[in-house]
Structure 1
Amino acid sequence: MNSLVKWVLILFVLFSIILNIVLIGIHQNKAPKCSAQRVHPLRGKHNERSGVFADLTREEYLQVQEYMLKQTDLDISTKQTTKPSENFLFLIDLSLPKKKEALEYLDGKSPKPVREATVVVFYGAKGHIKEYVVSPLPNPKKYRDVTLERYKKELPINARTVTIGEYVLIFQFFQEKVFVKLDKLLKESFNYSPKNNLNAFEQMPRGVQSGDRITWVSFFRDMSGMYIHPVGLEVLLNHKSVNSSQWTVDRLLYNGQYFDSVDELKQKYDDGTVKKIVYKESLDYGSLKPRKKPLELGPQQFYAEGKRYSINKNHVLYLDWSFAFGMSSLTGMRVFDVRFKDQRIVYELSVQEAMSVYGSVTPGMMLTKFLDSSIGIGRFGHELVRGVDCPYEATYVDTYRYIDAPAPIRFRNSICVFEHNMGQPLRRHFSDFFHNSYGGMVNSALVFRTITAIGNYDYMWDFIFYQSGAVEAKVHATGYISSSYLQDGSLKYGHQVAENVLGNIHTHFINFKVDLDVMGEYSSLPDYCCRG
């Protein structure tokens, strides 16, 4: 009898398991599936004419470079270590067409404007900077000097940004003219050695009047987040001459005390007549590694019926929206011909400048006003990390740039595009007077994003396209603060963030260009250049 009951129970359990498996299978077949394919058709069609705003391709960059090198009378080099005293091809970038020509082409009223590239050459041997326009692309056949046309004057060579070739000479200068003489000070104060280096971080502007090229350079420990590990040594480098053998150290700051030369600092340090910095090992508080391992995966985003946007070359479609996009090496990301329900409302929306102004008692921060376009905003738009910088399911776009390099460089996944639920309804209302009713609309928007890491700061740039017809230009700053060594009087200009580390007072100014074409090109609405 016990055996019979036992077998009945076993058969019942097996039957239950089989029945549950069948029911689960039936339920899964009826449940909606997450589809990678688009279920609903797009509301518009991609516009091939948007290519008028497309960034230069790798092939176009190479064609322009090859053409310029063939002009033997220009005598230019593309070597990344070209010296300031030589001629260097610094920049190749798209030369945007005139607005009138672009609009007539976009509206089918005229042929495509001639595709052109802007080329910047630093003529160290001649003492000036030239800007050229090379055309037509592809297969360029001519160039013209547009320096006076664009700037109304000749550009002196000292107006150039610091190139990698000049940085090589600067680091070599510090090693041979400063560090060798101050070996005792560096070892005792900072534990400096070939294996325990100091990193340099320069400040801007390079002087207080036109023609100056003198730069305060601050030194930091070679650690994670070096920008918050200052050591208390700053050097004023005069590198006005294109010949590095004529460079000099005009002043130094050590532990809050100024010195007119390296020899003076060395002598007074050896004599014991200066207040010395005593080396102390610094904690690794600037590391980006998580202190604790995450226990579980966070919430993820998915597209239940496929993506509602589409990207074809440099053109984006999203519900009622369409726009062309690009990335300037100097100013960063930009969009053109922005249309809502096929009506052009913005001709151009673009980043123009990121400026930060500092205050401090130390010279490195006292004068500092960073103008990021002077070194290139888009230049530093690197690869975006899937699942961190943008959602896993975002669409990623590669870009190419040619700036301070021997050849065009590919930046993989440097732009991302995704639709995102903004976390609150676009509109909603619940009525409990007379009648109970509710109406609401999901607030999903398309985000067009890149992130530029310019020195210590990482700027996250977003252009956001809402279903209501609104466009938002948004920037979020992250990364590291720029710090200086704590000394007497410092706390008037910031807050102490670690031992002997001051977070300096500063402010950010962000400029966007917004060229509105609401209700036609000649609408009464003004164009805006916004500051935040």
Structure 2
Amino acid sequence: MIRLVITSLCVVTLSICTAVPPLGYERRVLREIFDKRTTNSSASSCTYDEAPTTTAPKANVWAPISAEDNLAVWNLLHEPASGMNLTHPDDAVLTDNYVFWIDTLHTNKSDVLPYIDGSGSLPTKYARAIIFEGGKADPDSQEYMIGPLPVSADTTIEKLDYMYNGGSGGSVPFNARYFDGPKTSATDPLVASVMGNISDVTAALFQGGVYFGSLDERTTLSPTSGTPQSFDGSQAFRNIMFRFPGPATYMTPLDFFLLIDCTGTDASLYSLKGFVTNEKFYASIEELRNAFDAGELAQVYDQTQDASWAFVDYKPELGVRELEERLAPSTLEIGGKRYKLDKENQYVEYMGWSFYISFTRTLGVMLYDIKFKGERILYELSMQEATAQYGGNQPKAANTVYHDTYYSLGTDAGPLVEGFDCPWGATFWNLSYHSTNTTVTNENSLCIFEADMNFPLSRHRTASSSSYGFSNLGTVKGAQLIVRNIATIGNYDYMFDYAFHMDGSLEVAVRASGYLQSSFYYPDQDKWGPRIQQATQGSLHDHILTFKADFDILDTINSLQVSELKAVPQSQPWFPELGEFEQLELDTSRMQTEQQFNWAPNNQAMYTLLNPNATNAWGEPRGYRIVPGRSDIHLSTLNSPWSLKNSEFAKSHLAVTVQHDTEPYANSVQNINLPHAPQQDFSKFFDGESVDGADLVLWFNLGMHHFTRAEDVPVTLYTEAYSSITFAPQNFFDRAQDGDLLNRRWIEVDEDDQLTFEAYGVALPACRVSFGEPVEHVGGVVES
């Protein structure tokens, strides 16, 4: 890496041409504005100033457990007195007991509210740990809660059962546990034996491609298998696809699948189920070899082994774009940072907004105690699951459903590149998680910045007969604070944005980039996606991102109002010539019971979380509207065997439930391998409780039906794979929240046709733009 330091003095001012032709009133108004501007004389930095500091009103009770607590919990679990009989994961085999991971256990809301809203004591902190217990007579995976923390004589280790409704608490059948290193290693001898016996076949079919085991130097193929790998925990299987290895391996699939049964802890009992190639199933090595000898396995297309076409680097062969050598426009906080931070408590204040940030290895970034102008809107806003379900006529495509929390989504939040992933001068924070007895820090993996919305928040021109063509004109600057992180889970880079707008609205957006999980191309399989390379098909799939929004509109007594637009026939006596005619009416009601529901056709319904006991100055209930954005979808397949009961949260646009400490998450992290007998069944949340005047949680889905295309090569583009939702004030205030913003321009024309201009003291500053100042993090490095 080459560090390139560029420091240029760039006084941000605007040159005014002395001879301006009559271009109309708008151009004349602009000239008046710029002629009357003032600039600050000092040239301060406009990109690398630190954000002002503030002090959080209370400690961050949602913060992750510390590195010291993680180590203490690890040591406690491994003490002989604990009775856990644990082996270090690095030395473990299937029949051992060992820690899979340690994370932070959520703090119950009922314990938090007395503290953050009153004089209650600081809530007790707990860790959670998943332990694979292969050494038991009836092996399983069991989750535990460890606390209170810090570890002391009062700390206990208890089964974490209370927040799971599948019938076995925190216990997951051994065959449905996470398919980790020891489990994969246990299956490798069988895979190596089978593939070694047909190495002449695979070498002939796949340009010398062979597999003799993961550690054998002769191996030239890479195996991969998706999820689920069990249906109900009574069995385990791997449907293995082979690919050419390399950084773009997701894009070079081969037409060869090995299906094995790997039930139980005794690897000697694992067995071959069969092979799939050329769209046919072969139940044994003998059947496959006979087909090969008969010339029935010839490949129509050879997969490319040169995957440079799939790298995200500069491709000059696409042509040259004029002026592209110039740096593209960038968001710069040229007036200095307008948000305040308490880094220790991960607390943020911005233009009336305040909130806390937390993080877990499973869910990633989570926001808490979100207030606007001192009034709570949301207790919690967090992503719950990232689901992807595929379709195809090949085992890997047809079989694949991903729950990305299964892979610990938060651990994949990687470093962000300044100026590209986030604007120059953004604030970068580290995110940490725990792995065994250590703590891993992903540096500069969260960024905070204020961004220009590139359109005014509000604007109006009042027309008149003056020479300027108006009597007054007002326009208000649009800006937003964005909290962003990007998690690369295998092949996809999910970008999560939480945007806090000046008017009191809050937007959640997610984008997807990265490599497709592709399939081998067959001309007769275009119903599952197009050909995108020499022997590669883009596999059709859904992305569903499930979020939790625990609304507390002023307090915990809320209702969900449904306002339906209906076209109703009616007559009015002042229009006798029309007789009966159709007109819009609003049919307003409140949802009565917990339920999953979808956006109304044509979006002819408004859903508002409101406080039934609080009104604005006009007597209207104060609330926040749920505004659908782009691509608010749910899972297409509602009855697939691969996602039958373990993905219920992904099968509707929206859902509303009563908040319970026992229902903190929509899913469990090992649910993917239990589609027929889930550990956590989201559908059981809906048990008839009243949602009219209760503590409500809204569950909502964002996502994309991924209609794959050639333009997904090399990677999917963020511009197209994008989904969003907005929570906007609905009679929460007495008027729009833009009147108190100084970043505005007000122009009036009096009766003598004289123009006056008001800038409210907000000027365009002079500042020094510095790129690539010598800093110690990736975010501040300009690469050359």
**Shared topology, TM-score over 0.5?**
yes
Alignment partner, residue 163 of structure 1:
180
Alignment partner, residue 131 of structure 1:
143
Kindly provide the amino acid, as one letter, of the partner of residue 472 in structure 2: S
Kindly provide the amino acid, as one letter, of the partner of residue 475 in structure 1: V
Say if 2:285 is the partner of 1:262: yes
2 CA distance for matches of 1:92 and 1:119?
4
Deviation of 1:57 after TM superposition, in Å, equals: 1.9
Give CA deviations for 1:299-356 in whole Å, capped at 9, x if unaligned.
Answer: 2333223211233222112221111111221222111111111211110000001111
1:47 to 40, 53, 56: 56
Say if 2:174 is the partner of 1:180: no
- Whether the 8 Å CA contact 1:122–1:130 is kept in 2: the answer is yes
Say if 2:447 is the partner of 1:412: no
- Whether the 8 Å CA contact 2:363–2:409 is kept in 1: the answer is yes
- Whether the 8 Å CA contact 2:495–2:512 is kept in 1: the answer is yes
Kindly provide the amino acid, as one letter, of the partner of residue 246 in structure 1: L
Alignment partner, residue 149 of structure 1:
162
1:69 to 64, 78, 102: 78
| Stretch moving more, 48-57 or 112-121 | 48-57
Deviation of 1:268 after TM superposition, in Å, equals: 3.4
| Stretch moving more, 131-140 or 454-463 | 131-140
1 CA distance for matches of 2:376 and 2:39?
45
Say if 2:310 is the partner of 1:286: yes
Kindly provide the amino acid, as one letter, of the partner of residue 79 in structure 2: K
Kindly provide the amino acid, as one letter, of the partner of residue 398 in structure 1: N
Aligned residue pair count: 502
1:339–1:84 distance in 2 versus 1, CA, 3 Å = same
Structure having greater relative contact order (Cα 8 Å, sep ≥ 6): 2
1:301–1:170 distance in 2 versus 1, CA, 3 Å = farther
Say if 2:457 is the partner of 1:426: yes
Kindly provide the amino acid, as one letter, of the partner of residue 419 in structure 2: G
- Whether the 8 Å CA contact 1:430–1:437 is kept in 2: the answer is yes
Structure 2 residue runs without a partner (length 5+): 1-37, 211-216, 560-608, 610-695, 703-784
Alignment partner, residue 102 of structure 2:
92
Say if 2:388 is the partner of 1:353: no
Deviation of 1:122 after TM superposition, in Å, equals: 1.0
Give CA deviations for 1:155-209 in whole Å, capped at 9, x if unaligned.
Answer: 32222111133334444543x2233222212322222264773222322212444
- Whether the 8 Å CA contact 1:424–1:443 is kept in 2: the answer is yes
| Stretch moving more, 331-340 or 433-442 | 433-442
- Whether the 8 Å CA contact 1:33–1:304 is kept in 2: the answer is no
- Work out the percentage of aligned pairs sharing the same amino acid: 25
Kindly provide the amino acid, as one letter, of the partner of residue 66 in structure 2: T
2 CA distance for matches of 1:40 and 1:458?
28
Alignment partner, residue 376 of structure 1:
408
Q: Please give the root-mean-square deviation of Cα atoms over the aligned residues, in Å.
A: 2.6
- Whether the 8 Å CA contact 2:47–2:425 is kept in 1: the answer is no
- Whether the 8 Å CA contact 1:81–1:166 is kept in 2: the answer is no
Say if 2:135 is the partner of 1:119: no
Say if 2:360 is the partner of 1:333: no
The SS at the match of 2:235 is coil
- Whether the 8 Å CA contact 1:359–1:506 is kept in 2: the answer is yes
1:441–1:167 distance in 2 versus 1, CA, 3 Å = farther
- Whether the 8 Å CA contact 1:252–1:261 is kept in 2: the answer is yes
Kindly provide the amino acid, as one letter, of the partner of residue 199 in structure 2: D
Kindly provide the amino acid, as one letter, of the partner of residue 429 in structure 1: H
1 CA distance for matches of 2:51 and 2:411?
38
Alignment partner, residue 513 of structure 2:
478
The SS at the match of 2:255 is strand
1 CA distance for matches of 2:376 and 2:40?
44
2:551 to 492, 516, 519: 516
2:476 to 427, 441, 444: 441
Deviation of 1:51 after TM superposition, in Å, equals: 2.0
- Whether the 8 Å CA contact 1:55–1:326 is kept in 2: the answer is yes
1:231–1:495 distance in 2 versus 1, CA, 3 Å = same
- Whether the 8 Å CA contact 2:388–2:403 is kept in 1: the answer is yes
2 CA distance for matches of 1:192 and 1:283?
14
TM alignment of 1:237-256, pairs within 5 A: 237-256=260-279
1 CA distance for matches of 2:271 and 2:199?
19
- Whether the 8 Å CA contact 1:80–1:164 is kept in 2: the answer is no
Kindly provide the amino acid, as one letter, of the partner of residue 531 in structure 1: N
Structure 1 residue runs without a partner (length 5+): 1-26
Alignment partner, residue 23 of structure 1:
none
Give CA deviations for 1:354-393 in whole Å, capped at 9, x if unaligned.
Answer: 1112111112111322122222221221222222222231
1:249–1:143 distance in 2 versus 1, CA, 3 Å = farther
2 CA distance for matches of 1:212 and 1:315?
46
2 CA distance for matches of 1:326 and 1:157?
31
Say if 2:701 is the partner of 1:531: yes
Kindly provide the amino acid, as one letter, of the partner of residue 164 in structure 1: G
2:297 to 274, 281, 287: 274
Kindly provide the amino acid, as one letter, of the partner of residue 501 in structure 1: T
Alignment partner, residue 501 of structure 1:
536
Alignment partner, residue 215 of structure 1:
238
Alignment partner, residue 12 of structure 1:
none
1 CA distance for matches of 2:88 and 2:351?
45
1:48–1:182 distance in 2 versus 1, CA, 3 Å = farther
2 CA distance for matches of 1:338 and 1:28?
35
Kindly provide the amino acid, as one letter, of the partner of residue 414 in structure 1: S
Alignment partner, residue 596 of structure 2:
none
Alignment partner, residue 396 of structure 2:
364
The SS at the match of 1:386 is coil
2:69 to 57, 60, 66: 60
- Whether the 8 Å CA contact 1:34–1:305 is kept in 2: the answer is no
Deviation of 1:271 after TM superposition, in Å, equals: 5.0
Say if 2:334 is the partner of 1:324: no
Say if 2:119 is the partner of 1:109: yes
Give CA deviations for 1:125-170 in whole Å, capped at 9, x if unaligned.
Answer: 1212221111122234422323432334143222211113333444
1:236–1:140 distance in 2 versus 1, CA, 3 Å = farther
2 CA distance for matches of 1:28 and 1:63?
56
Deviation of 1:249 after TM superposition, in Å, equals: 2.4
1:34 to 42, 45, 48: 45
The SS at the match of 1:59 is helix
Deviation of 1:481 after TM superposition, in Å, equals: 1.4
- Whether the 8 Å CA contact 1:461–1:474 is kept in 2: the answer is yes
Give CA deviations for 1:407-433 in whole Å, capped at 9, x if unaligned.
Answer: 332211221111111222222222324
Kindly provide the amino acid, as one letter, of the partner of residue 222 in structure 2: N
The SS at the match of 1:53 is coil
| Stretch moving more, 485-494 or 461-470 | 485-494
- Whether the 8 Å CA contact 2:148–2:156 is kept in 1: the answer is no
TM-score, normalisation: structure 2: 0.60
| Stretch moving more, 345-354 or 57-66 | 57-66
1 CA distance for matches of 2:40 and 2:537?
62
